[in-house]
Structure 1
């Protein structure tokens, strides 16, 4: 099964050299599920011809906001709607979660309460899960057809499902502790130091990235054949 990765951002150069770029992280996260991958750097206006170029799709995170006035945002939204209409499965993570909601009529805003950073607790289908996060933007108004399947006190719309066609996740199952540590070093001054210290204190504790990867893979494979 061919998964098309729509790359909406890049890892910081000093981190990418050691830990890989965003598309590499998803290839690693979803390794072992029988997928083949192709990436399109949509942030550079590199787009597939259409939904038929892959069997399933995934949109990465980004330093940019879904609401930013950038030339590739509108074409990406159009592609999201085309994928939705095609019936092919689409998974979105962080920015991907947000841009899918916006493309379908929802609203994304910068949260005035600040950032979620590092290991964070969510409730998914009634059970606690822990995932790494790094975001301030949030989906603040749901589009029609979106069902909340995961949430936290900080982020009420943390995980959404749109029937059998789309699955979106605000936190980062593809980010390990090493990447969060690198972000803390690379973005000093963006997040208050006490919050960064609290995030560092969580390094080494278990998280549920493997379970979320399995959920994503199962969702993508549901449309296979």
Structure 2
């Protein structure tokens, strides 16, 4: 099964030499589970010919806002709707979670409560899961028909399911602690309040459920089910 990865943001230059791009992170996780992958950097206006270019799709995170005025966002929203209409499975992470909601009629805003950085615990149907997060924007209104899968007091719409064709999460299951620490040290200062960065740093090394979410992605691609 071939998964097309739509890259919507670029890893900071200071980190990309070690970790590659977001598409590389997801590519490694997916190929380790037996998938073939191909990536398109839509943030650089590189688009696939259409939904038929892959059997399933994944949209990455980004530093950009879904509501921002970038030339690549309207065609990405159109591609999302085309993938949805084609009934191919689609997964979204962080910005991917947000842009899918926006493309299908939901609302994304810069959250007045501020940033979520580092390990956060979300209530899923099968119990709590702790995953690294890095976001200020949120889905504040779900599209019609979107089912709430995970939530916490800070982020109401933390994971959404659209029938058996789309599954999205706000947190970053592709971020291990080493990458999260690098973001805290190199990207966070001057952008994220120091107290939040220190709080996130203090949680590094705690047990993580990030790979159980990647397992969800695998099941969803293969069976259209989360469990």
Q: TM-score range by the shorter chain?
A: over 0.9
- Pick which of 191-200 and 132-141 moved more: 191-200
Q: Secondary structure at the match of 2:97?
A: helix
Q: 1:154 Cα shift?
A: 0.4
Aligned to 1:23: 23
Residue 217 in structure 1 maps to residue 213 in structure 2: no
Aligned to 2:74: 74
- Pick which of 159-168 and 191-200 moved more: 191-200
| Cα RMSD, aligned residues only | 0.9
Q: 1:131 Cα shift?
A: 0.1
Larger relative contact order (C-alpha < 8 A, sep ≥ 6)? Answer: 1
Aligned mates of 2:75, 2:62 — CA distance in 1? 16
Aligned to 2:108: 108
TM-score norm. by structure 2 comes to 0.96
Q: 1:126 Cα shift?
A: 5.1
TM-score norm. by structure 1 comes to 0.97
What are the superposed Cα offsets for residues 48-83 of structure 1, whole Å, 9 maximum, x if unpaired? 111000000000000100000000000000000000
Alignment of 1:187-198 (within 5 A): 187=187, 188-198=189-199
Q: How many pairs were matched up?
A: 223
Aligned to 1:86: 86
Which runs of 5 or more residues in structure 2 are unaligned?
none
Aligned to 2:8: 8
Residue 176 in structure 1 maps to residue 200 in structure 2: no
Q: 1:206 Cα shift?
A: 1.1
Q: Secondary structure at the match of 1:30?
A: helix
- Pick which of 162-171 and 180-189 moved more: 180-189
Q: Secondary structure at the match of 1:61?
A: coil
Aligned to 1:204: 205
Aligned to 1:63: 63
Residue 127 in structure 1 maps to residue 121 in structure 2: no
Aligned mates of 1:192, 1:137 — CA distance in 2? 15
Aligned mates of 1:180, 1:12 — CA distance in 2? 12
Aligned mates of 1:29, 1:112 — CA distance in 2? 33
Q: Secondary structure at the match of 1:178?
A: helix
Aligned mates of 2:211, 2:133 — CA distance in 1? 15
